[in-house]
Structure 1
Amino acid sequence: MSPIHHQYAPGFGRRPARSVFSSDAPRLSLNGQWRFRLSPSVAAAGAPPAAVDLDDSDWDLLTVPGHWQLQGHGKPIYTCCTFPFPVDPPYVPDENPTGDHRLVFEVPASWPESAAVLRFDGVDSCFAAWLNGEPLGWSTGSRLPAEFDVTAHLRPGRNVLAVRVHQWSAGSYLEDQDMWWLSGIFRDVSLLARPAGGIEDFSVTADYDHRTGRGLLRVDTPVPALLSIPELNLVDVPGAGPYEVDAVQPWSAERPRLYRGTLRTDTERVEVAVGFRTVAVVDGILTVNGRRIVFRGVNRHEWHPERGRALIEDDMRADVLLLKQHNVNAVRTSHYPPHPRFLALCDELGLWVVDECDLETHGFCEVGWRGNPSDDPRWREAYLDRMARMVERDKNHPSVIIWSLANESGSGDNLRAMAEWTRRRDPSRPIHYEHDLDSRYVDVYSRMYLPVDEVDAIGRRAEPPLSDPDADAHRRGLPFILVEYAHAMGNGPGNLAEYQALFDAYPRCQGGFVWEYLDHGIRRTHEDGRGYFAYGGDFGEELHDGNFVVDGLFFPDRAPSPGAIQYKKVIEPVRVDVDAGQVRITNRYDMVDLSHLEFQWRWDEAGTPVATGVLPVPAVLSGQTVLVAAPALPHGAVEAYLTVSAVLAGDEPWAPAGHEVAWGQAQMCPPPVPPAGVPDTPAGSEPTTSFGPTTGSGPRLGAAEFDAVTGRLRRLGDLVLTGPQLDLWRAPVDNDRFLHEQWRAYGLHRLRHRLIGVDAGDGQLVVRTRVAPAGRDLGILATYRWAPDDDGLLLRLEVRPEGEWPFPVPRLGLRLAVPAALRDVEWYGRGPGEAYADSWQAARVGRYAMTVEQMQTPYVRPQENGCRADVRWATLTGPDGAGLRFEGRPVFQLTARPWSSEDLDAARHTIDLVPRDAVHVNLDLAQHGLGSGSCGPGVLAQYELRPDPVTFLVSVRPHRAGDGGGACRSDQHAAPPCTPATTVAYNESGD
């Protein structure tokens, strides 16, 4: 017989799958410190570590639950889809790290003389177990429970449990889930007493009739049991029912109403939590409780930067709270069932769940899907076993509203068999599987990373037809979800608002799940004590996929990235549209009204709060809109904004009162017209323009001095500057994954500047240059027109491309370096966080202050970050309050960092970034958008930055200690959206 790690079978000796529940029967946790020994292969491991008298005193100690690679034994491996071993199913290499675990534990004297069960909630990837020297069985299916009957082997007092875990097994071919390959007993281990006549399992059916408000409840058990739910006036009634209950409150993600009670026999009492809800596909729409729902979801891997997938209660609760606080209403458990406690928290706090089986065979795509187990009958038992263990474990959770068969496992009859079994076992939930592109055996049409225009066609049910008319009619009649979209890798994703607009516009398009929730960085410490997060390749892997594993909306330490803030804004369940006379409030919740919210307003003038109040808003029903009069405030001579925020009126289990759920903002002053051209020199202030030899001083314009060789500004008053000069480069973001190869090939990261000429006259200094990369005949003519502006300078930059530019450029603007002491930044524009062309909605106009260091976004792999958009003015000052002030005409995009774009480009981790002896500043007209090009559609056409002729105006002047930020004149500062389509639209005259 083949060794267990080479078998198609999923296991041997296990008890039937069942639900997980809390019971008053004794339970003994076996978590803690175990003895551990790692061998490089099965052969090297030798005989199983089963003997009771085996001397393991020289073995290491290992924390269980835990992964051995994260506790100093072996190394993590990250691949996205490539198997890190030869594709030779069901076999794995002889070099198969094998971890032997041993635990001595005491069974208390009070332990009953009844049946006993040993439960493993998760072991990766294949294991066998022995108790007191006797074999119990073995199992695969890493993220699924396995139980063994230990009644005959358990002893009073001292017991010895031995577990051998193989890193690789036949099961590894079914677990290629775009995550770290990590091994060991990573979920709880428990000893459970099973009283005679106890409750081995139960199934709750709690349907809700939205037309009558009645609930229908039954609880099926293998043995007769009595059910008590006092709130439903059910006390010690036979559990089987069914019981029709009038006027129940239904369960939903928005109002997660649970009715708690007990189920008991003479020997055991278990807790039940009932949520009444009905899931159905009606006329091609996915409904819950008779209402269409929209998934504002994320894909969630289980992760902790130090413990990997060995999560504790605090981790899981933090996940649910963070998601709720960021307006997420749904989770797809990519790509395996989560720890059961997570689902209980989703029941309690309210999240829709797509529960996905522990199955992915993605690595077979590397060999043209040859040998893929999904269509091989030898693997069918393993496929059905994995599905049954998930369904039986999770069947009683009201939060679980869809079963998902697998992820990226090709197609085949084994998947069809899973769907058929599940439909027979639980007809109350729809079935999902994205790789069933014809949707023949699923109830939801699902796709990944479709471009916006294709989603639009699907919303109109106008997608290209299938060749089989019956299959086409079936698929065209299904609801549609994007099971993965908007790849949140590094800086991004972009285009979220465009997708959300389609979900709002088309009933068939019922939302989606951003990839993904959390960066899977592993916390490491450099020898100098600085911390950072490691990714693929940092552990010497032979094969790896680099930082593709850090692709979440939240950083590894669960801090929200700008992408999470943007997603929260785009999916907010209340839409607040503000204009001059009224506020339009639209309820985008699926179920509930707005009575739990308070609508607070704030009036700002030039970024400074002037007045606040509360709007009287009725309890708007789901899907309805109400118009409320805006507060009557006078319009002054400066730019003014009205911001309206929807905040929690009282404490909720997931957030305190005052937590902001949604907001809207609008400029209340009439939009002005940006000034055209450079203003005339004021009378009586004719500038001094002088030229020295090239070896001496350069041209001067008032208090400004320019370099005689390059024509660049090098001093303004007492401040020494470097630049500004035209800049087209940014340190590529992860979503520039393919485009940046063109940028590098054309040399945009190594532009050279040639001075054509310097002219003075009419109170101006004109510097003409050509900027171009080596080896190419394309370039840009850049003309800098300098003129006095009060006590500073106004720069008009005119850009004229030459040659063929076959691609958009990363950025268009100016770069300069200022003294390192100017570390304090204040600005009036969008903030407080970064914003880009297709990801700016979460940044509101206001007045903000930060240090240069605080303006950086610590992406795990350094890249372009920290851009502040639609900036009217900004100051950079030192400890004495003096420095520089920049003003846009009308606006610019600001980036200030303690290192250069080249430093960012070269860095692999945050610890590679070392502050320079200058602050590097970018004053940009625009940047190219973000998109999802790391794994999905790139930047939409309207957010591409094409090298067209443009003119950009910005002023610079000294800022003195004690100077305020200053009001922005409403005749100079409009509030255009932060998009290249707008900010690049100024014509050659600057209009």
Structure 2
Amino acid sequence: MTVRIYENILKTGENRELPRSYYIPRGISEYLLLNGEWDFCYFARDIDVPDVPSKIEKWDRIRVPSCWQILGYEDPNYTNINYPFPVDPPYVPDDNPCGVYSREFELKEKWGRVYIVFEGVSSCAFLYINDSYIGFTQGSHLQAEFDITDAVRKGTNRVAVKVLKWCVGSYLEDQDHFRLNGIFRDVYILQRPEGHLKDIEILPDDKAFNIRIDGEADLRIYEGQKLLHEGKINGSASFRPQDPVLWNAEKPFLYDVIIEKDGEIIPFRCGLRKIEVSDKYELLINGVPVKLHGVNHHDTSKHNGWYQTDEELRQDLLLMKELNINCIRTSHYPPPPKFMQMCDELGFYVVCETDIETHGFLRRLPDMPYRYDTETNEWPCTMPEWEKEHVERMQRMVETFKNHPSVIMWSTGNESGFGRNHLAMIKWTRQRDNTRLIHSEDATREKPSDVTDVFSRMYMPLDELESYAKSDEIRMPVFLCEYSHAMGNGPGDVWDYNELFDKYPRLIGGCVWEWADHVVDVDGVEMYGGDFAGELTHDGNFCCDGMVFADRSLKAGSLEVKAAYQPIRTDFSNGILSICNRFDFTDLKEYTITYDIESDGAILKSEELDIALEPHGSVQIPVSVPEIEYSYGAHLNVYLGKDG
């Protein structure tokens, strides 16, 4: 049987640039966003696509970014575990649907180096410029950059992209969401001077900026409007602010680091912070024990599928802040780069997960029991020929997001078993970045392991979790990468879990499954798995398991999470008002705290408290309660306020 390029396990890309840190250069460099209307032609089989895009005679119009199923080309399909095609790696069905995208763009002048960058294309893409083949990429949620200098000309140029529904990489992308395709994230042109810098590394620390570049440039560092440092950098440099302001999720202070060469300006917003594990196996941020009050976040929009606008992403994060969430697991793939910038700015701890899930190998044959039988060596994680693809997906994620202070853990993926290829991923990551923790949920599914930095499990019963909190066998932080499934009337147990998190130092917290319901809006009707024609396999409404609805309106579960995660807790009993500060870096002197005593709707007493209470502290305040006669009820209400 002939193996096509997109079925070649060892051919993960062609002519794609090496991964680098994410940035958009300014100054003399040109940035041309190609989002908007494109020509589009859908083919039921990729073998019917002409050898060059210009031979296509009839085009529709489509918006980019988007997913073609959302726009009426095929029906969406939701499946949780099962692959939507027969499990026969590396092969995918011969009848492999394909979408061809095309549009013109203008270059005012032909100068320097010209690149095109794709932030997300599912499942793989073949790139053409002016009918010349440029290259190939797979890895749907991973940035892909191509040098197109030799193919472009001054004036009008045409880019065309052939996108296939499935490729060998689809075996690594069996995530629990709607299975969609297309150019679903930003795509843009960069025109940069010859000899420009490529990769820039600014790994976060709690004392200094440690910067590495591939050349010589000018360096400026600002604290707000104040210039802290100005000088040259040749290869590497280190700068220590005199009184560093450290980044954390409660106070996400960012410095501005500007690197300039030959008129090109490359800006970064950087935070200083340090991640450690204490001798009690606590998670330490800047030396302070921190609990992760987290959620799993899929990129999902009921109108756009996998594409969320910048405004929608920010809305998600601001709503998370309102619900007292401080941690995000990017389930189960890297997020759009702008999302990570927002996490830096707004303050979130991020478990950045690479684009790997092979859950469907549990059901690769009919009537298989639900078991991670990786000892059969029939899983991608155990087969040597899959090692390159595994390691490369980790590399592309780490290199893209290594400069972000919000990233506290790198994750090798989700529900993929654990094998030699995960070990190769972990080995590479440790050598590349030893400043962050490494997470791999399946590494500790069966027993404790020292190959990762956290003991991670999902949906662990409370009594089992407490036993692990006391166990001498586990000598690392315990993290629930998924817990408190928010489907239906859930999550009802999130408070109980957080009581255990607070009780035991090594229980560092977890991420509720999941953020938002997945639905597709069809003429005002919200539809999910099983609602679409031709779904050979689907998992019904199991995608409607978010703590918020698809339109981001709140559920009862949203308020349950907010209460469990609240950073300031109060209790009143026997004339004593108890206040507990669960913040990690915030003193309660930054808040105004007022209480009143109310009976049948009438305020009998009100008082503002003058409290300075350090993080993790508690205080008991006697409250004199007047004699109360009531018909309907009497309450002591506590109000919290904060300027700004």
TM-score normalized by the length of structure 2: 0.94
Q: Which residue of 2 aligns with 1:566?
A: 560
State the 1:358 CA deviation: 0.5
Unpaired runs of at least 5, structure 2: 365-372
Q: Which residue of 2 aligns with 1:404?
A: 411
Q: Which residue of 1 aligns with 2:369?
A: none
Secondary structure (helix, strand or coil) at the match of 1:152 reads helix
Contact kept, 8 Å, 1:4 with 1:138, in 2: the verdict is no
Tell me how many residue pairs correspond in the alignment: 621
- Is residue 521 from structure 1 mapped to residue 525 from structure 2 by the alignment? no
- Spell out, residue by residue over 1:683-711, the C-alpha distance to the aligned partner (whole angstroms, 9 max, x if none): xxxxxxxxxxxxxxxxxxxxxxxxxxxxx
1:179-258 correspondence runs (5 A): 179-208=177-206, 215-231=207-223, 233-238=228-233, 240-258=236-254
Q: What is the aligned counterpart of 1:309 among 303, 306, 323?
A: 306
Instruction: Give the distance between the partners of 1:227 and 1:594, measured in 2 at CA.
Output: 38
Q: Which residue of 1 aligns with 2:143?
A: 145
State the 1:158 CA deviation: 1.2
Q: What is the aligned counterpart of 2:323 among 323, 326, 332?
A: 326
Q: What is the aligned counterpart of 2:466 among 413, 436, 456?
A: 456
Contact kept, 8 Å, 2:110 with 2:153, in 1: the verdict is no
Instruction: Give the distance between the partners of 2:52 and 2:348, measured in 1 at CA.
Output: 43
Q: Which residue of 1 aligns with 2:39?
A: 35
State the 1:609 CA deviation: 4.2
Instruction: Give the distance between the partners of 1:373 and 1:487, measured in 2 at CA.
Output: 28
CA change 1:47–1:286 in 2 (3 A) is same
1:687-766 correspondence runs (5 A): none
Q: Which residue of 2 aligns with 1:416?
A: 423
State the 1:639 CA deviation: 5.2
Instruction: Give the distance between the partners of 2:489 and 2:449, measured in 1 at CA.
Output: 34
- Is residue 4 from structure 1 mapped to residue 5 from structure 2 by the alignment? yes
CA change 1:499–1:333 in 2 (3 A) is same
Instruction: Give the distance between the partners of 1:272 and 1:94, measured in 2 at CA.
Output: 45
Q: Which residue of 1 aligns with 2:114?
A: 116
Q: Which runs of 4+ in 1 moved over 6 A?
A: none
Instruction: Give the distance between the partners of 1:340 and 1:439, measured in 2 at CA.
Output: 32
Secondary structure (helix, strand or coil) at the match of 1:533 reads strand
Moved more, 278-287 or 377-386: 278-287
- Spell out, residue by residue over 1:912-938, the C-alpha distance to the aligned partner (whole angstroms, 9 max, x if none): xxxxxxxxxxxxxxxxxxxxxxxxxxx
Instruction: Give the distance between the partners of 1:630 and 1:112, measured in 2 at CA.
Output: 76
- Is residue 610 from structure 1 mapped to residue 603 from structure 2 by the alignment? yes
Q: Which residue of 1 aligns with 2:539?
A: 545
Contact kept, 8 Å, 2:283 with 2:290, in 1: the verdict is yes
Contact kept, 8 Å, 2:577 with 2:623, in 1: the verdict is yes
Q: Which residue of 1 aligns with 2:638?
A: 645
Contact kept, 8 Å, 2:598 with 2:605, in 1: the verdict is no
| Equivalent position amino acid for 1:544 in 2 | H
CA change 1:643–1:49 in 2 (3 A) is farther
| Equivalent position amino acid for 1:262 in 2 | I
Percent of matched pairs sharing the same residue: 38
- Spell out, residue by residue over 1:125-149, the C-alpha distance to the aligned partner (whole angstroms, 9 max, x if none): 0110100111111011000011111
Q: Which residue of 1 aligns with 2:155?
A: 157
Secondary structure (helix, strand or coil) at the match of 1:70 reads coil
| Equivalent position amino acid for 2:449 in 1 | S
- Spell out, residue by residue over 1:510-563, the C-alpha distance to the aligned partner (whole angstroms, 9 max, x if none): 1100000000011123xxxxx331110111211000001111001000111110
| Equivalent position amino acid for 1:218 in 2 | N
Q: What is the aligned counterpart of 1:373 among 380, 405, 410?
A: 380
- Is residue 385 from structure 1 mapped to residue 392 from structure 2 by the alignment? yes
CA change 1:420–1:59 in 2 (3 A) is same
Q: What is the aligned counterpart of 2:260 among 240, 259, 264?
A: 264
Instruction: Give the distance between the partners of 1:315 and 1:353, measured in 2 at CA.
Output: 18
| Equivalent position amino acid for 1:81 in 2 | I
Q: Which residue of 2 aligns with 1:280?
A: 276
State the 1:331 CA deviation: 0.2
Contact kept, 8 Å, 1:602 with 1:609, in 2: the verdict is no
Contact kept, 8 Å, 1:48 with 1:164, in 2: the verdict is no
| Equivalent position amino acid for 1:228 in 2 | R
- Spell out, residue by residue over 1:666-725, the C-alpha distance to the aligned partner (whole angstroms, 9 max, x if none): xxxxxxxxxxxxxxxxxxxxxxxxxxxxxxxxxxxxxxxxxxxxxxxxxxxxxxxxxxxx
1:566-645 correspondence runs (5 A): 566-606=560-600, 608-611=601-604, 613-630=606-623, 632-638=625-631, 640-645=633-638
Instruction: Give the distance between the partners of 2:605 and 2:481, measured in 1 at CA.
Output: 41
Q: Which residue of 2 aligns with 1:69?
A: 69
Instruction: Give the distance between the partners of 2:52 and 2:643, measured in 1 at CA.
Output: 57
Bigger-Rg structure (1/2) = 1
| Equivalent position amino acid for 1:10 in 2 | T
- Spell out, residue by residue over 1:144-201, the C-alpha distance to the aligned partner (whole angstroms, 9 max, x if none): 0111110001111111111111101101000001011000000011110121232212
TM-score normalized by the length of structure 1: 0.61
CA-based RMSD of the aligned residues comes to 1.6
Instruction: Give the distance between the partners of 2:499 and 2:199, measured in 1 at CA.
Output: 44
Secondary structure (helix, strand or coil) at the match of 1:347 reads helix
| Equivalent position amino acid for 1:16 in 2 | L
Contact kept, 8 Å, 1:198 with 1:267, in 2: the verdict is no
CA change 1:36–1:514 in 2 (3 A) is same
- Spell out, residue by residue over 1:618-656, the C-alpha distance to the aligned partner (whole angstroms, 9 max, x if none): 2211111122233643322445433443533211xxxxx
1:339-350 correspondence runs (5 A): 339-350=336-347
Instruction: Give the distance between the partners of 1:303 and 1:506, measured in 2 at CA.
Output: 35
- Spell out, residue by residue over 1:74-114, the C-alpha distance to the aligned partner (whole angstroms, 9 max, x if none): 1111110100110000101112111111112222x2x4511
State the 1:236 CA deviation: 2.9
- Spell out, residue by residue over 1:898-957, the C-alpha distance to the aligned partner (whole angstroms, 9 max, x if none): xxxxxxxxxxxxxxxxxxxxxxxxxxxxxxxxxxxxxxxxxxxxxxxxxxxxxxxxxxxx
Which of the pair has the greater relative contact order for Cα pairs under 8 Å at 6+ separation?
Answer: 2
